[in-house]
């Protein structure tokens, strides 16, 4: 199997753009990635677009094709992939496979989503459809805020985690986002701001939640031989792991082991452990989500996630800075765009191109994305590890 490297990445600014189309956002992000890599449109040999695809203005088909046409990429294999919130990570993994197999030398992975209008209008209809289908979560009213409310309640009762500690995650990630020009929210917040924000579910307030916004992100990959033609700072992919839920009826609801199983595969593939990481982008759809991730990914012991964030270890300047781009909580969470946005941030960190939020001397980074839930289990987990 061939060694694969990331040679360029690009984003458009994530935000709420009811007046801005998917094609415009996609064109900007893909073009930025091409420019960053020094690659021309004609050099791209295969492409994968990750999207849940709720923008009805483009119709149900060929979203990726339409975006790539705007930058002059046509005629090559272009595929749309979807795995809910991890759709961008699927696009990256498929691109990695395509190059590793030897069939292609340069690939484009990108993710895009427009959530400000169509999703809002159809949200209640989606819930009705889930109830009608007797789908496990939807038929019981267990939507994301409720699921993570249950997770937080369990964590607080079992380990003594406090609301102040979970709020510290949101504060930290907003601080990081204040230095990221692509982030949706950039104004710093305090623990009191989080605790006093609008209640959404039990123990979950507005600022504990990620924003479902609009955005696009793109990453360009190449074989190691070809990468050297474009950059003197290739970022190598040392692991790509994906697992799905097991959906066991006796599994504790919403305390899934997908992250632990995926992490074990990724660490073994890369030949490292969590202590070897310098920076990580992990799934923080809610602030309790990040605390549980710390434990599942081996950054600390079970039940120690709250004290870890409180210690400052996961903030810039700490032992292992987490979500330096702002995370889902502040960079935003346009479902399909999140995975590649995480990879873009790690790429810039390892190439020392992250500006004011740069982790000094960063050489090894990790991305972690979750996608979907089913029968009390997470649907998917993708973990990628990178080195320079």
**Radius of gyration of the CA atoms of the chain, in A:** 19
Question: What's the token pair of residue 88?
Answer: 């961008």
Nearest alpha-carbon partner for 223 in 41, 21, 45, 40: 45
Q: Which sequence spans correspond to the domains of the chain?
A: 4-115+214-235, 143-210+238-387
- Its pTM stands at 0.94
Q: Which fold has domain 143-210+238-387?
A: Peroxisomal Thiolase; Chain A, domain 1 (3.40.47)
What per-residue confidence (pLDDT) applies to 19? 86
pLDDT at 21: 87
Which residues are tagged catalytic? 85, 333
pLDDT of residue 120: 46
Q: What is the pLDDT of residues 250-286, one digit of tens each?
A: 555 556 789 999 999 999 999 999 999 999 999 999 9
DSSP for 4-34, written as a single string: EEEEEEEEPPPB--TTS-HHHHHHHHHHHHH
**CATH architecture of the domain formed by 4-115+214-235:** 3-Layer(aba) Sandwich (3.40)
Half-sphere exposure of 357 (CA within 13 A, CB side): 29
pLDDT number for residue 385: 98
Q: Please choose, from the candidates 283, 331, 323, 342, the residue with its C-alpha nearest in 3D space to the C-alpha of residue 180.
A: 331
Judge whether 4-115+214-235 and 143-210+238-387 match in fold. Answer: yes
Look at residue 147 in the predicted model and tell me its pLDDT: 83
For residue range 292-327, list pLDDT tens digits in order: 999 999 999 999 999 999 999 999 999 999 999 999
Low-confidence ranges of the chain (pLDDT < 50): 119-120, 123-124, 129-134, 139
């Amino acid at each position: 199997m061939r060694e694969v490297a990331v040679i360029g990445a690009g984003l458009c600014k994530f935000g709420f753009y009811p007046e801005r189309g998917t094609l415009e956002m996609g064109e900007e992000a893909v073009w930025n990635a091409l420019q960053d890599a020094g690659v021309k449109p004609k050099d791209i040999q295969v492409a994968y677009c990750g999207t849940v695809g709720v923008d009805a203005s483009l119709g149900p088909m060929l979203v990726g094709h339409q975006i790539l046409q705007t930058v002059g990429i046509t005629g090559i294999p272009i595929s749309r992939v979807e795995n809910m919130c991890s759709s961008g990570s699927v696009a990256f993994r498929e691109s990695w496979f395509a190059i590793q197999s030897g069939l292609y030398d340069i690939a484009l992975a990108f993710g895009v989503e427009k959530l400000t209008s169509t999703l809002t209008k159809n949200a209640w209809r989606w819930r009705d459809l889930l109830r009608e289908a007797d789908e496990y979560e939807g038929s019981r009213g267990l939507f994301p805020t409720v699921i993570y409310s249950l997770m937080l309640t369990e964590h607080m009762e079992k380990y003594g985690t406090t609301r102040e500690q979970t709020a510290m995650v949101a504060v930290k990630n907003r601080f990081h986002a204040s230095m990221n020009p692509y982030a949706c929210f950039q104004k710093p917040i305090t623990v009191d701001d989080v605790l006093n924000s609008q209640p959404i579910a039990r123990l979950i307030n507005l600022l504990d939640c990620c924003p479902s916004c609009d955005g696009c992100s793109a990453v360009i990959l190449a074989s190691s031989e070809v990468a050297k033609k474009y950059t003197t700072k290739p970022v190598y992919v040392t692991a790509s792991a994906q697992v799905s839920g097991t959906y066991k009826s006796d599994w504790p609801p919403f305390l899934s082991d997908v992250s632990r199983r995926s992490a074990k595969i990724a660490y073994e593939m890369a030949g490292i452990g969590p202590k070897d990481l310098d920076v990580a982008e992990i799934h923080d759809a809610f602030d309790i989500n990040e605390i549980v991730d710390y434990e599942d990914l081996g950054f600390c012991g079970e039940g120690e996630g709250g004290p870890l964030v409180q210690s400052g270890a996961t903030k810039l300047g700490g032992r292992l800075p987490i979500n330096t781009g702002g995370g889902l909580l502040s960079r935003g969470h346009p479902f399909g765009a999140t995975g590649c946005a995480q990879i873009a941030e790690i790429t810039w960190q390892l190439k020392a191109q992250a500006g004011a939020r740069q982790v000094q001397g960063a050489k090894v980074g990790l991305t972690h994305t979750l996608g979907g839930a089913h029968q009390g289990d997470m649907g998917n987990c993708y973990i990628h590890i990178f080195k320079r």
